Chain A
Amino acid sequence: MSTGNLKDIVVNVENLEVTFDEKKIIRNVSFNVRRGEIIGFFGISGAGKTTIIRVLTCQISKKNWTGNVNVTNLSPGSKKNYAKILSNIGYVPQLEELNLYYDLTPLKNVEVFASCYGMKKKEAKNIAMELFSILDIPEDTWNKPLKKMSGGEKKRVSMAIGLIHKPDILFLDEPTTGVDAAKRYDVLSYLKKLNRRLGTTMFLITHDMEAALIVDRAAILRDGKLLEFDSNSNLITSLPNNGLVARFSIENLNEEKINIIKRFPNAPNIKTIRVGNETLEVLMDDFEKNLSKLIQFMMENGLKINAMSRDVAAFRRYFQLRIQEEEEKERLIRIQQDAIEEVEI
């Protein structure tokens, strides 16, 4: 997958900037996606995930964006490419109740959408049955009104519809939001399964850090900027000491106590992240060498450690740290700017 040549690039974005009402929503975003990859778009609300996907899926007029964008070698900047791009991609929207015909059966739903791609009823039905069985949609529900299905089943029907025309790329908007915790992993593993069987490139917009488990590369967005775009493991190994963490349970944990830990002299690059009321995770360089010194330092400073364990950071931690770091950077820049302004006055 890492040796993709130019022909294998299905999405190419260079210097994308999106402006709405003179406000820049996306700033200078560039990335490539190779055929067959699963890409996760992570970012807190308002980061611009949906906006980027909407540019790729011909939903934002060229008036509002600049840059070089190609989807299956066609630019969504030109209206005459719309129909062709749209027939090369599939889209699974977030909410089923707004995007499926609830009174029609799953097979009729498939027929309606497939017909928009010019597919014959029989062809659509055959592909649908194949997809339905991959997705374990019970056969006795295929011919009953969709509204009688469970939420998870509807989601899977929606996924099958997104794939009915065998698109090169499938976009999924928050596929696990609104699905209960137990079923969430199901949805993700079905996506992985489809990706393996069909080789479809997938874009997941998500708040769900679990999704990082199935993605080949994760894009982290903040405030319209693409902070990272790399594989889960690469991101984690970029952390101090390959992402080893020490998890402490500290009595009466508060900001003051966290600041003490941040002043640990042996590891200036120390990173802390509070993950619970009394739980703190610590990352630092030379983890093995420094760990015992850190514990000693904490005790000397009067912190009471109730428990301790060690682990490797998950994507969730990476994401939190990366956003924290960015916020810190911005805070510093703001302080500098304020200082400059004061000097000027």
Chain B
Amino acid sequence: MAKSKTNDNWNSGTFFNRLRYSLWRVVRQIKKEFQLLKIDKMNLVIALMMPPAIIMLFAFMSTSASVTIPVKVSVISYDSNTYVNQNNYTETTTWDNYTSKYLDAVKESELLELIEFYDASESEDEYAMETARNEMRDGNIECIIVISVEFTELLSTGYPGIIELIPDSSDAAAIQDKLNAVQDSIKIFVEENDLDPEYVLQEYEEFSIPSKYNFRYNYNMTILLPFMTFGISFVLSILVVVQEKPIPRLLLTPAQKSEILLSKFIVYSIVLALQVFLVLTVAIANGLYIAGSVIDLYLALYMLGFAGVSLGMFISTVSNTKTEANQLFFAFFILIILLSGMFVPIDAMPDYLQTIAYMLPLSHGAPIIKGILSKGKSFIGFDFFWLLGISSVLIILSFLVINRKRYEV
């Protein structure tokens, strides 16, 4: 047998020659990964076991007492506090200022937190509504309470006053809480001022989904899409490194640890692209309302899934055995889900937990997805860059860890 030509100039001399061979090996390792993926159905079984785990978590979560956090509101008042008589001239009355009395009731209610009061009565603040809506888009307030022009007048003359309510409806499940909170303030107001309790609360929903879309489905999707994308990409990658027994033997060839790891990252990123595509296709086919663009949604979910791959790969490189990887996965997964804001709003948690929660990837999932689905935002924003940051750090750590790891045949 003649000596193989391929390894004569193997790794010789120049940087580019070495790089060429390195890339060649990565490409071939990628092929291998796909072959292993085809055969190894174990990972998929684990992915299937995820839903029962989530149900368990639901049961676990519902036993803990619920925490009430005040709804953040801004109040805009158009109350003119004036009276137009039949002779068509205006005259200031000495009526009580019911707007300020209602504000007192808002402040008193434990269910509401007054963020801003806009007095728009004398065109003093004509952009009040626009400002408040922007505040709501940015998530600083959850509800706008509008006091009508004749509020004081109507009340003073024995008619029902009109309070208009504009809740942020992108978080559909929380709408009822918002209504209840505002009702509480009205109750206080009515009781303290000894008024006739006939008040009409008018409701106008900002960022709500069009009526032809299924409300429940769409609401659940804002949580399920990020959760599933992250969760499955995470669980699929936790065993990738640790279960490949022949790695030590591969390392007795010119193959490098970093080439092996890189090929795994590439393969699982490709798998993720497909996974997100399928999830989105099915979601849209079932009537997903997307205020923003599909591409934004795809990229946001991909980023979230990639954070899952990065964390999974990291766990896979630091673990020495499959059991260790599974345990680490379980610990991380519970933590990530508990602190994701899915069950307990992050703002209701103690400060130190909030810090941890905001560091974890899934906490940034629902905000991005909600922003795209209901508010038509772009995927680029703080949450996206945070996810990108977490992923980069995890990738760098994985390469550092694997390079320090000892493999022995």
Are B250 and A116 touching (Cβ within 8 A)? yes
A118-B252 CB under 8 A given contacts A87-B11, A130-B1: no
Q: Is the CB of B248 within 8 A of A166?
A: no
Q: Which of A82-116 contact B (CB under 8 A)?
A: 82-84, 86-88, 91, 93-94, 97-101, 103-104, 108, 112-113, 115-116
User: A57 at interface (Cβ–Cβ under 8 A)?
Assistant: yes
Q: Which candidate, A15-23, A26-34, A119-127, A298-306, is the interface stretch facing chain B? A: A119-127
A103 to B33, CA, bound (A): 12
Given A87-B254, A101-B246, the answer on whether A108 and B35 have CB atoms closer than 8 Å is yes
Q: Are B36 and A103 in contact (CB under 8 A)?
A: yes
User: Chain B residues near A87 (CB, 8 Å)?
Assistant: 7, 10-11, 253-254
- Which residues from A are CB-within-8-Å of B12? 84
Please tell me which one of the listed residues A101, A112, A115, A123 contacts residue B4 in the complex, with CB atoms under 8 A apart: A123
**Contact across chains for A84 and B10 when beta carbons are under 8 A apart:** yes
B residues in contact with A108, CB < 8 Å: 35
Interface residues of A toward B: which range? Answer: 35 or more
CB–CB B248/A99 < 8 A: yes
Is A173 engaged at the interface, CB distance under 8 Å to the other chain? Answer: yes
Total A-B contacts with CB atoms under 8 angstroms apart? 103
In the complex formed, the residue of B with least CB distance to A171 is B252
A83-B11, A103-B40, A113-B253 known; A127 vs B248 contact (CB < 8 Å): no
A117 and B248 contact, CB distance less than 8 A: no
What separation, in Å, do the CA atoms of A197 and B12 have in the docked complex?
A: 28
B216 within 8 A of partner (CB):
no
Chain B residues within 8 Å of A103, by CB: 36, 39-40
B409 located at the interface, meaning its Cβ lies under 8 Å from any Cβ of chain A in the complex: yes
Contact A99 B32 (CB under 8 A): no
B36 contacts across to A, CB distance below 8 A:
101, 103-104
B13-38 contacts to A, CB under 8 A, are: 18, 21, 24-25, 28-29, 31-32, 35-36
Q: Are the C-beta atoms of A115 and B39 separated by less than 8 Å?
A: no
Closest-by-CB residue of B relative to A109 is B246
- Choose one: B4, B11, B24; the contact of A127 (CB below 8 Å): B4
Q: Which residue from A99, A104, A116, A119 sits with its C-beta under 8 Å from B255?
A: A116
Given contacts A83-B11, A86-B253, A87-B254, contact A116 B6 (CB under 8 A): no
Take A91-B252, A99-B245 as given contacts and tell me if A173 and B409 are in contact as well, using a CB distance cutoff of 8 Å.
yes
| Cβ contact within 8 Å between A93 and B409 | yes
B7 and A97: CB pair below 8 A? no
Distance in angstroms from B21 CB to nearest chain A CB is 5
Give the distance in Å from the alpha carbon of A100 to the alpha carbon of B25 in the complex. 18
Q: A98 to B4: give the CA distance in the assembly, Å.
A: 27
Query: Is B107 an interface residue when CB atoms closer than 8 A count as contact?
Result: no
Is residue B249 contacting chain A, with contact meaning CB distance below 8 A?
Answer: yes
Nearest-CB distance from B261 to chain A (Å)? 14
Does B408 sit at the interface, judged by CB under 8 A? yes
Q: Which residues of chain A have C-beta atoms less than 8 A from B11's C-beta?
A: 83-84, 87
Contact A115 B25 (CB under 8 A): yes
Give the distance to chain A from B3, nearest Cβ to Cβ, in Å: 6
Residues of A within 8 A of B25 (CB): 115-116, 118
Q: Give chain B nearest CB distance to A99 CB in angstroms.
A: 4
- In the bound complex, residues from chain A placing their C-beta under 8 Å from that of B409 are 59, 91, 93-94, 98-99, 173
- 5 nearest CB pairs, A to B: A115-B28, A116-B253, A116-B255, A93-B409, A83-B254
Task: Give me 14 other A-B pairs in contact (C-beta within 8 A), A83-B10, A84-B254, A93-B249 excluded.
Answer: A57-B252, A59-B252, A98-B246, A98-B249, A98-B409, A116-B28, A117-B10, A118-B10, A118-B21, A119-B4, A119-B6, A165-B6, A166-B3, A166-B7
Identify 29 residue pairs between A and B in the complex whose beta-carbon atoms are under 8 Å apart, listed by A's number: A59-B409, A82-B254, A84-B11, A86-B254, A87-B11, A91-B249, A98-B409, A99-B248, A99-B409, A100-B246, A101-B246, A112-B28, A112-B250, A116-B28, A116-B254, A117-B6, A118-B6, A118-B7, A118-B10, A118-B21, A118-B24, A119-B7, A123-B6, A127-B1, A127-B4, A165-B6, A165-B7, A173-B409, A197-B1
